[in-house]
């Protein structure tokens, strides 16, 4: 097998990676602030305008999930995975309603995390710690997913060049992570923001380049691709089981609950909240959130490339070198190499690569904030602001390498299903965080019980459904996050009702005496 990535592409990739590293370190000097303060390091001093907030949040929530997992899902399963499109349309509506409110609270009271808010709102350090732990755990598989994306890029780049792709790719990943950890330690969110702009620009250029170049390389482009994919799906033991041109009826409930559940989950993830709190005003934040569905058009095209690749004989030939389970995550890197002219392919590969690195950095920082603010600080209240920041910096390094080690041990396919479990887990913090923005009348113990039952039930159903995010109810597969959240909310409402009644009776007794 001859190498499929040209020396020119390698050159472009490496040169841009050097520039990416430079931007990451340069971030520390950009809009200089006192980086020993947590809000300066972790929230870039809360000074991002509409455009920068758009780039940062865009880079933050459009991740390897967008570039690797969604195209991979469409490639293997078919129309079902297009649920990501309604998901991103509605998720920014949820964000535009919730995040400015959280932003105003945070600005007023110096909150860094959602758990900071929960702690004050419900006057409970324990509930805040639960929210923090949920965030830290749910973030791990999400980081792991980013690393799976990085591996996919390296696999395609190293094909035909080295014999043991796994070894060289692991080594390259480790070096990339050392670079990443070093500049996020020094520059914090400033470094992530500058690299985010680079990432977004490259990604958009690549997506458009593939769209323009595809008809030149694939006669008939999408028409051919949909015909070929339908042919594959009808050929027995089909991949694309959920349908090619349209969604098959048994998947309707799954489609709808997957996008609704994912919509509710995304802005509970610590990295999304972290990105939102770094905006300089609530209006600018909301405006940038309102504009983010446009970024989703890139996601929709990438999802469609999961079908497009069926029309590309050269790409399908490369994929056939790999076991069926590994092919999906290689769709976009392979398509970039077979469709784009040399040079541009290197650009696209770098885009996907840093498209995983930038979010991984922000996710690890968000985890670090939660650890310091909501777990270490309540245990050691005497900690200084400088001490907080120092621990957060090291914790972000630690979390990155923990996730990396996890991916080296656990196979890639597991990392992707764990990400779906992450969604089920994080959704259980919705009553405390989102509903807490609307009312403080919920009983904190009911919130804790609801959280615990929702979490337990979610994990149980996930295992009962054989590690699938979908559990059948009356024969219709439903996204487990939605089921568990419904039970969670029911407990919170009933529990709060009981708590109120008990309090009223107690007060009545006192007044009688």
Shortest distance, CB of residue 300 to another protein, whole angstroms?
A: 4
The residues pairing with 48 across neighbouring beta strands, listed in sequence order, are 279
Shortest distance, CB of residue 379 to another protein, whole angstroms?
A: 25
C-alpha to C-alpha distance for 155 and 241, rounded to whole angstroms: 27
Alpha helices in 221-329 (DSSP H): 221-234, 252-266, 270-277, 282-291, 295-308, 313-319, 324-327
Shortest distance, CB of residue 503 to another protein, whole angstroms?
A: 18
Of the two residues 101 and 168, which places its CB atom closer to another protein in the complex? Answer: 101
Element containing residue 413 per DSSP (H, E) = helix 412-426
Of 23, 397, 71, 41, give the one whose Cα is nearest residue 199: 23
Of the two residues 95 and 268, which places its CB atom closer to another protein in the complex? Answer: 95
> Which three-class secondary structure string do you get for 18-73?
HHHHHHHHHCCCCCCCCCCCHHHHHHHHHCECHHHHHHHHHHHHCCHHHHHHHHHH
Shortest distance, CB of residue 252 to another protein, whole angstroms?
A: 6
Of the two residues 222 and 414, which places its CB atom closer to another protein in the complex? Answer: 222
Of the two residues 50 and 424, which places its CB atom closer to another protein in the complex? Answer: 50
Shortest distance, CB of residue 238 to another protein, whole angstroms?
A: 18
C-alpha to C-alpha distance for 83 and 70, rounded to whole angstroms: 9
Shortest distance, CB of residue 312 to another protein, whole angstroms?
A: 14
Shortest distance, CB of residue 289 to another protein, whole angstroms?
A: 7
- Token readout for 50 is 């509409």
C-alpha to C-alpha distance for 461 and 246, rounded to whole angstroms: 28
C-alpha to C-alpha distance for 232 and 199, rounded to whole angstroms: 34
C-alpha to C-alpha distance for 285 and 277, rounded to whole angstroms: 8
Of the two residues 63 and 186, which places its CB atom closer to another protein in the complex? Answer: 63
Start-to-end C-alpha separation, the chain: 90
DSSP 242: T
Of 172, 183, 184, 182, give the one whose Cα is nearest residue 147: 172
Element containing residue 221 per DSSP (H, E) = helix 221-234
Of the two residues 101 and 449, which places its CB atom closer to another protein in the complex? Answer: 101
C-alpha to C-alpha distance for 360 and 442, rounded to whole angstroms: 34
C-alpha to C-alpha distance for 99 and 286, rounded to whole angstroms: 8
C-alpha to C-alpha distance for 128 and 118, rounded to whole angstroms: 6
Shortest distance, CB of residue 368 to another protein, whole angstroms?
A: 27
Of the two residues 61 and 425, which places its CB atom closer to another protein in the complex? Answer: 61
Shortest distance, CB of residue 307 to another protein, whole angstroms?
A: 8
Of the two residues 84 and 315, which places its CB atom closer to another protein in the complex? Answer: 84
Of the two residues 222 and 445, which places its CB atom closer to another protein in the complex? Answer: 222
Helices and strands in the chain, H and E counts? 25, 2
Of the two residues 65 and 105, which places its CB atom closer to another protein in the complex? Answer: 105
Shortest distance, CB of residue 437 to another protein, whole angstroms?
A: 8
Neighbours of 231 (CB within 10 A): 11
C-alpha to C-alpha distance for 345 and 335, rounded to whole angstroms: 9
The residues pairing with 470 across neighbouring beta strands, listed in sequence order, are 479
The residues pairing with 479 across neighbouring beta strands, listed in sequence order, are 470
Of the two residues 260 and 340, which places its CB atom closer to another protein in the complex? Answer: 260
Determine contact, residues 450/431, Cβ cutoff 8 Å: yes
Shortest distance, CB of residue 212 to another protein, whole angstroms?
A: 12
Shortest distance, CB of residue 55 to another protein, whole angstroms?
A: 15
- Residues forming contacts to another protein in the complex (CB under 8 A) are 79, 82, 85-86, 88-90, 92-93, 96-97, 100-101, 104-105, 108, 120-121, 220-226, 245-247, 252, 255-256, 259, 281-284, 286-287, 289-294, 296-297, 300-301, 304, 437-440
Of 146, 277, 173, 196, give the one whose Cα is nearest residue 27: 196
Of the two residues 293 and 342, which places its CB atom closer to another protein in the complex? Answer: 293
């Amino acid at each position: 097998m001859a190498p499929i990535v040209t020396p020119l592409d390698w050159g472009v990739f490496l040169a841009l990676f050097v520039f990416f590293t430079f931007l990451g370190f340069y971030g520390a000097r950009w809009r200089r602030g006192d980086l020993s303060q947590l809000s300066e390091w972790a929230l870039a001093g809360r000074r991002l305008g509409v455009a920068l907030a758009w780039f940062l949040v865009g880079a933050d929530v459009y991740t390897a999930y967008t570039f690797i997992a969604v195209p991979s899902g469409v490639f293997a399963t078919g129309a079902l995975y297009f649920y990501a499109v309604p998901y991103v349309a509605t998720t920014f509506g949820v964000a535009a309603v919730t995040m400015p409110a959280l932003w105003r609270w945070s600005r007023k009271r110096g909150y860094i995390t959602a758990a900071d808010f929960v702690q004050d709102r419900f006057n409970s350090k324990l509930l805040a710690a639960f929210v923090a732990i949920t965030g830290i755990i749910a973030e791990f598989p999400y980081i792991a997913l980013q690393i799976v994306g990085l591996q996919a890029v390296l696999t395609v780049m190293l094909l035909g060049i080295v014999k043991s792709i796994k070894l060289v790719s692991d080594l390259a990943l480790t070096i990339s992570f050392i670079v990443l950890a070093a500049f996020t330690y020094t520059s914090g969110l400033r470094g992530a923001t500058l690299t985010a702009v680079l990432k977004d620009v490259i990604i958009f250029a690549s997506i458009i380049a593939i769209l323009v170049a595809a008809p030149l390389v694939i006669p008939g482009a999408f028409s051919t691709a949909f015909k070929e994919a339908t042919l594959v799906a009808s050929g027995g033991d089909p991949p694309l089981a959920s349908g090619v041109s349209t969604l098959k009826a048994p998947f309707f409930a799954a489609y709808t609950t997957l996008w609704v559940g994912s919509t509710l989950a995304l802005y509970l993830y610590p990295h999304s909240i972290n990105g939102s709190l770094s905006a300089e005003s609530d209006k600018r934040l909301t405006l940038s959130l309102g504009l983010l569905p446009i970024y989703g058009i890139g996601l929709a095209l990438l999802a469609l490339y999961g079908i497009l690749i069926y029309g590309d004989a050269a790409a399908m030939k490369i994929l056939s070198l790999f076991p069926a389970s590994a092919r999906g995550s290689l769709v976009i890197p392979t398509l970039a190499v077979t469709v784009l002219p040399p040079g541009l392919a290197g650009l696209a590969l770098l885009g996907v690569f840093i498209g995983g690195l930038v979010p991984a950095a922000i996710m690890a920082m968000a985890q670090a904030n939660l650890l310091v603010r909501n777990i270490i600080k309540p245990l050691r209240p005497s900690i200084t602001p400088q001490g907080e920041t120092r621990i957060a910096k090291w914790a972000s390094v630690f979390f990155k390498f923990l996730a990396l080690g996890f991916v080296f041990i656990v196979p890639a396919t597991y990392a992707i299903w764990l990400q779906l479990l992450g969604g089920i887990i994080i959704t259980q913090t919705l009553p405390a965080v989102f509903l807490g923005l609307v009312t403080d009348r919920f009983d904190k113990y009911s919130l804790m019980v609801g959280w615990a039952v929702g979490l337990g039930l979610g994990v149980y159903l996930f295992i009962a459904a054989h590690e699938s995010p979908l559990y059948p109810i009356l024969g219709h597969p439903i996204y487990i996050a939605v089921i568990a959240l419904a039970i969670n909310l029911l407990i919170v409402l009933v529990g709060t009702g009981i708590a109120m009644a008990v309090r009223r009776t107690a007060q009545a007794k006192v007044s009688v005496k």
